[in-house]
Amino acid sequence: MQGFRARASQSGFGKGAGLMTQQRVYLDYNATAPLRPMVAEAVLRALGLPGNASSVHSEGRAARAEMESAREQVAALAGARPKNVIFTSGGTEANNLALSPSLRQSGQAGPERLLISAGEHPSVLSGHRFDPGAVETIPVDGQGVVDLARLRAQLQAGPRALVSIQAANNETGALQPIAEAAALVREEGGLLHTDAVQAAGKIPLDLEALGADVLTLSAHKLGGPKGAGAVILASDRLEIADRLIRGGGQERGYRAGTENVAAIAGFGVASSLAAGHLAEEAARLEALRDEAEAELRRVAPEAVVFADGTRRLPNTLAFAIPGLRAETALIAFDLAGIALSSGSACSSGKVRRSHVLDAMGVEPALAEGALRVSLGWMTTKEDVSRFVETCERVASNLYKRRASAA
């Protein structure tokens, strides 16, 4: 794809673009963003450091300096204090660490219940450490937005709770009212966790303004390397007493094991780049997303765009064309040189109906055709045009089959 290659060249992407042929269009940033060139440079530099970040000699201190620089960069992206950033292997581990009954304010008992919004990522839905009987689901409306009235009722109906609500949905892009939810949770003496993996680098994040107690991130959604994430605590008084990985006491005892310095260094640079161009890039992506959406509706008038009645991430377009199955569409787009995903791009690589769309009350037949386009730092206007051209062919073939069957 020319757009991809030209932008790669302009960005100094260099040989890293070799996996992408000139004909390919990559529109699956919510799954993984291509590695940014400055991130690749940081990773390579850190890989050349021989020391262990826990060692006191010069080599060890150099590795430690890379980590602490990254800690500051990640903290700045989230409006947090560097000392409250705990590095993990990714967003899934971060969520598993944070969602514990042992998360508490110093000197207080931990929460007895976990309330989870119905549209959460699987690492939240099944990655927590609460007894299944102590877990409740908070419903969402037809746009995928959490029901705050129901949340209030659930908070008042039982003992102290930890509440987990994602900042932005990974499938539809729907943004959640985190600050409003945090206020409700605070009134009832609970704690709030927000999975901000999809929101980071796409919309502004400020831990204090959000009112969340814990926030989790992942590097590879930002154009950083795979294999790095973070738990960020809002206060020095917060602690997670029961750690997932015990051992040598790294990350202030929260996450034992020799740190992945190279991935963490890349995480820091990706965070800095995302924060430095946030408003400009969000506006650019929103314009491209809106163009893609308008053209989709033109070439496929029956298309349903999910969460189009609420605030969404500027880069995300989730849709379905009635009668078109996701498996068929994904193959057609891939053969046309376009990478996108189904509405439920799960870790196994299988296409299955989305639990998010089910929670929104979307008709099963329509949900089974859900597709997600997600744009990012290398997406161009030409990429959107290629997507629209392919949409037009796919929709035309669908309508022709209908006409011949009538």
Q: Which helix (H) or strand (E) holds 341?
A: strand 341-342
Single out the catalytic residue among 47, 157, 179, 346: 346
Query: What are 232's strand-pairing partners?
Result: 85, 215
3-state secondary structure at position 164:
strand
User: What tokens appear for 114 in the block?
Assistant: 């976990």
Dihedral (CA of 31, 37, 39, 45) sign: positive
Q: Mark whether 346 is an active-site residue.
A: yes
**Residue 137 — left, alpha, or beta (φ > 0 → left; ψ -120 to 50 → alpha)?**
beta
Q: How far is the CA of 135 from the CAs of 161, 229, 244, 245, 307, in angstroms?
A: 9, 25, 20, 23, 26
Among 124, 86, 286, which Cα is nearest to 203's? 286
3-state secondary structure at position 91:
helix
Among 334, 336, 337, 300, which Cα is nearest to 317's? 300
Question: Which segments within 196-250 are labelled E, that is strand?
Answer: 214-218, 229-233, 238-240
How many angstroms separate the CA atoms of 376 and 203, rounded? 13
- The structure tokens 């993984």 sit at 32
Amino acid at 36: R
Contact 210, 178 (CB under 8 A): yes
How many angstroms separate the CA atoms of 350 and 337, rounded? 20
Dihedral (CA of 355, 359, 360, 365) sign: positive
How many angstroms separate the CA atoms of 6 and 27, rounded? 16
- The structure tokens 């450091």 sit at 49
Among 308, 406, 296, 318, which Cα is nearest to 369's? 318
Dihedral (CA of 96, 345, 169, 5) sign: positive
Length of the chain equals 406
User: What tokens appear for 342 in the block?
Assistant: 């189904």
**Residue 209 — left, alpha, or beta (φ > 0 → left; ψ -120 to 50 → alpha)?**
alpha
Residues annotated catalytic, as ranges: 346
